Amino acid sequence: ILMEKIKKAHWHIGLFFSGKKSYGQILEITNKLNCPAPQIMKNSKGQIRYFAHMDNPEKYQYKPSEIIAHGGADIRKYLTATGGDKIKILAEMQDWIDETGCTEFHELARYARNERFDDWYDVIATQSTVFLNAYIRSKRHGGDHNE
């Protein structure tokens, strides 16, 4: 019997400042929140992605859209797909286009926004519109060989 240890409910909090702060200044904040000792965030992108376990498939996957940012913090830049993630997502989208018979870019964009907002939508909206549009257009004009 496989038994998983259920972790105590907890929060991960990242603090960002426009200027330098000493460890003592941060400790004052975390002491008021009854937190463990603060750790320096050496890689902001990796740390924010860790909050959702995006790069740890063996852990429970939280939705990146459920990460709450306050005070004007824009964490979207830390959650965008890069490198291998982007290629994997594009391959998934191509498969979806082939499986559904999608013939219009707006169909893919609507599906991504409604059903795959946390991974596909950013890639469509900011990174790969030209590629995906060309793929759909080529299928619509007789290039549907599913090779």
pLDDT in tens, 88-104: 889 999 999 999 999 99
pLDDT digits (tens, 9 = 90+) for 131-144: 899 999 988 777 55
Answer with the one of 79, 96, 126 that is the final residue of a domain.
79
Residues 59 and 63: their CA atoms lie apart, in Å, by: 12
Residue 131 within any structural domain of the chain: yes
Both 71 and 95 in one domain: the answer is no
Both 62 and 32 in one domain: the answer is yes
Both 67 and 87 in one domain: the answer is no
Question: How is residue 142 annotated by DSSP?
Answer: T
Q: pTM (2 decimals)? A: 0.56
Integer angstrom CA distances of residue 139 from 20, 80, 105, 135, 144: 54, 28, 11, 6, 5
Residue 33 within any structural domain of the chain: yes
Neighbour-count burial for 128-141, b at 16+ CB within 10 Å, e otherwise: beeebeebbeebee
* pLDDT at residue 113, rounded to an integer: 92
* pLDDT at residue 57, rounded to an integer: 80
Total structural domains in the chain? Answer: 2
Both 87 and 136 in one domain: the answer is yes
Both 43 and 56 in one domain: the answer is yes
Q: By residue range, what is the domain housing residue 75?
A: 23-79
Q: What are the residue ranges of helices labelled H in the chain?
A: 23-32, 44-51, 76-79, 83-100, 105-115, 122-126, 129-140
